Structure formats: C-alpha cells, structure tokens
Amino acid sequence: MLLATATVQRSAATREPTWLRWLLIGGALAFLGFFLVLPLLSVFAEALRKGWALYWQALVEPDALSALRLTLLVTAVALPLNLVFGVAAAWAIAKFDFKGKSLLITLIDLPFSVSPVVAGLVYVLLFGAQGWFGPWLMAHDIKIIFAIPGIVLATVFITFPFIARELIPLMEAQGTEEEQAAMVLGASGWQMFWRVTLPNIKWGLLYGVILCNARAMGEFGAVSVVSGHIRGLTNTTPLHVEILYNEYNFVAAFACASILALLALLTLAAKTWVEWQAERQRALDARMAMDE
C-alpha cells in the first residue's frame, strides 16, 4: 500500500481530454465532499457552535481528560502487542512455505469483519462472571472485563490483523535472498533480523502501526461491551462521547469527538509523511543502484 503519489508524465495519446479530466476530478471530489469532508467539518462545526471557551472547557474537564488518558494508554499497550505479533506472523507466512497457510491468513483476517458487538460479547462469555474463566478469576480477585485489561483485549482483537496484513505482502515481495545472503555470511538469526529484515520493512511496519493506532483510538462498539462505563475510570474517549451525547451535552460530545478526529488527522499526516519518506528512500535506492 505504500505508493508514490507523483503523477507519471504521459504522452498525449494516453491522456484524457481536458473536459473529461475535470469531470472525473469533479466527480471524485463531489463524492468525497459529501461522504468525507462534510461529516468531518460538521463535527468541528458542532463542537464550536457555542464558541471556543466552551469548547476548551469541555476538553479540560477531568472526566474528558481521564477518558483521553485511558484511550492513549490502551492504545499504547495494544499496539506493541500487535506489533510483535504482526512481525512474527509475517515472518512465518511470507518467508516460509507450509501447509495451511491460507487458512492461517484467513484466521488472522477474521477479526476485521467480526461485528464489534460480537467482539465484545466473546470476551464477556470468556471472562464474565458467568463465563468460562469467570469464577476462577473472581476467586483470585483478578479483574479482566469491566477493567483496563478487558478494554485492552477488545482493542487488540479489533486491531489484530492490521500490522500483519501490511507486512505479509511486503515481505513476500522482498523474497528471501537478502536474508539468505546474511546467513551464508555467518550472521546470527537476530543479527540478520535487525540488520537486514527490519530496515527493509520499516516503512511498511510504520504504516501498519499508524493504521492500527488510528483504529485502536477510535474503537467504540467492542470496548463499550467490556468497559463497564465507570465515569473517570473505564471510559475511553469514544465512550465518553456517547455519554456526553446522551446527556444532551452536544458541544462537549462533539468537542471530544473532534479531539479524536484531530488525532485521526495527525495520524493521517504521519502516514503521509511515512509514505513520502518511503518514496524518497526508494528513489535514493534506485539512484544508488543506477550508480553502481
């Protein structure tokens, strides 16, 4: 998915007439305008409906801050977990051939299309007081659901495939020659990984991390089932938005939503930067290859 956005210079024969070009651009922009830009703008418009002072007040309210802290904390825990998994899974799947590979890939992808409601429900079935491990957990006074671990688990589940998904095609495309060369030259497994594999996949990895991060911060449905909604303790920002909305506190609700949107935009900016860096790197590599 890493791609260069620079347009390729084309000869007249493979270009569309100007009117058509503008028609297509107009169509695309109209579609994106109605489905993307307007909803985004409406979030900010609602948030600022009663002025900046109220907007700011809604953001620094203690419950809003604790919700944001929890959201960032959960993301900070879920991300490394899926990062390690993503690299391990991609290594096994992309660099080796074994039976049952497509089944494994399908299972890794599965959380992507599981309804968030169901994603939350399964953890309740597992760790809830009436669930499989519930009585044991209760007896040992370990809290999983309706506490931070449950929220982390639900988030991990929802963002499970993203990093692996990003790395598998990339590592498949790169093949195994470089790693084999490193091994032949006497590198240890870890040396090979740190010096050869990681530098090769770093941009794809970063892109996966960014996608995973974006999704983790915004997850609502699954987290809602396992959170317990204790104000100031187990409310993430998306849940806090719902609560404020249900309090008819629309300005504060949209203010918190706008923070999530801003985080999303920051994430997207980071993504664009990553793509740009990757592009530069590729151009650099290409030039070096030509120099040789």
Partner 1 sequence: MTRFTRLIVAAFVTSASCAALAGPELLNVSYDVMRDFYKDLNPAFVKAYRAKMGEDVVVQQSHGGSGKQARAVIDGLEADVITMNMPPDIDALYDKAKLVPENWAARLPNDSLPFTSLQVLIVRKGNPKQIKDWSDLIKPDVQVVMPNPKVTGNGRYSYLAAWGYALKQPGGSEQKAREFVAAILKNVPVLDSGGRAATTTFMQRGIGDVLLTFENEAEMIAREFGHGGFEVIYPSLSVRAEPPVTLVDKVVDKKGTRKQAEEYLKFLWTPAAQEIAAQNYLRPQDPTVARKYASQFPAVKLFTVEEVFGGWRKAQKTHFDDGGSFDQVYARK
Partner 2 sequence: MAELTNPVPDAALRLPMQRVDHPSAPSRAGMMQFKQASVLPGFNLALGYTVVYLSLIVLLPLSALVLKTTSLSWSAFWQVVTADQVMAAYRLTFGASLLAAVINLFAGLLVAWVLVRYEFVGKRLIDALVDLPFALPTAVAGIALTTLYAPNGLIGEWLVPLGIQVAFKPLGIVVALTFIGLPFVVRTVQPVLQDLEAELEEAAACLGASRWQTFRKVIFPATVPALLTGFTLAFARAVGEYGSVIFIAGNIPFESEIVPLLIIGKLEQYDYAGATAIATVMLVISFGLIFLINLIQWWHTRRHGMRK
**Rounded CA separation 114/81 (Å):** 20
- Residues in 128-187 at the binding interface with partner 1, rule: CB under 8 A: 128-131, 134, 137-138, 143, 145-146, 148
Is residue 108 involved in binding partner 2 (CB under 8 A)?
yes
Instruction: Indicate which single residue of 15, 21, 229, 280 sits in contact with partner 1 (rule: CB under 8 A).
Output: 229
Closer Cβ to partner 2, 170 or 205, answer by number: 170
Report the residue from 131, 134, 149, 228 that binds partner 2 according to the rule CB under 8 A.
131
Which of 39, 51, 80, 135: binder of partner 2 (CB under 8 A)?
39
70 with 216: CB under 8 angstroms? Answer: no
Alpha-carbon distance 270 to 260, whole Å? 15
Evaluated on CA atoms 48, 51, 57, 58, the torsion sign reads negative
Least gap, CB of 90 to partner 2 (angstroms): 8
Q: Which residue in the set 246, 288, 290, 292 belongs to the binding site for partner 1 (CB under 8 A)?
A: 246
Which listed residue (116, 145, 205, 274) binds partner 2 by CB under 8 A?
Answer: 116
Q: Torsions phi, psi of 128, nearest 5?
A: -65, 165
Q: Which of residues 244-273 bind partner 2 (CB under 8 A)?
A: 245, 253, 257, 260-261, 263-265, 267-269, 271-272
Question: Which residue, 163, 164, 262, is CA-closest to 213?
Answer: 163
- Alpha-carbon distance of 253 to 44, in angstroms, equals 11
Per-residue binder mask for partner 2 (CB under 8 A), 56-95, x = binder: ----------------------------xx--xx-xxxxx
d(Cα 57, Cα 64) in Å, to the nearest integer? 10
Residue 70 engages partner 1 in binding (rule: CB under 8 A): yes
Angstrom distance (rounded) from CA 237 to CA 72: 9
**CA 17 to mean position of chain CA atoms:** 39
Identify which of residues 66 and 213 has a Cβ nearer to partner 1 in the complex: 66
Shortest distance (Å) from residue 267 CB to partner 1: 18
> CA neighbours within 13 Å on the CB side: how many for 67?
31
- Contact criterion met (CB below 8 Å) for 150 and 236: no
| 138 interacts with, out of partner 1, partner 2, none, CB within 5 to 8 A per kind | partner 1
- The rounded distance, in Å, linking the Cα atoms of 96 and 268 is 33
Token pair for residue 263? 């985080």
Residue 289 burial by CB count (10 A; 0-12/13-18/19+): exposed, middle or buried?
Answer: exposed
Q: How far apart are CA 83 and CA 272, in angstroms?
A: 20
Question: Segment near partner 1 (CB under 8 A), from 165-173, 223-231, 255-263, 273-281?
Answer: 223-231
Q: Give me the 11-50 binding string for partner 1, x by CB under 8 A, dash otherwise.
A: ----------------------------------------
Residue 55: which of partner 1, partner 2, none does it interact with, CB under 5 to 8 A by kind?
none
Contact residues toward partner 1 (CB under 8 A) are 66, 69-70, 73, 76-77, 124, 127-131, 134, 137-138, 143, 145-146, 148, 228-233, 243, 245-250
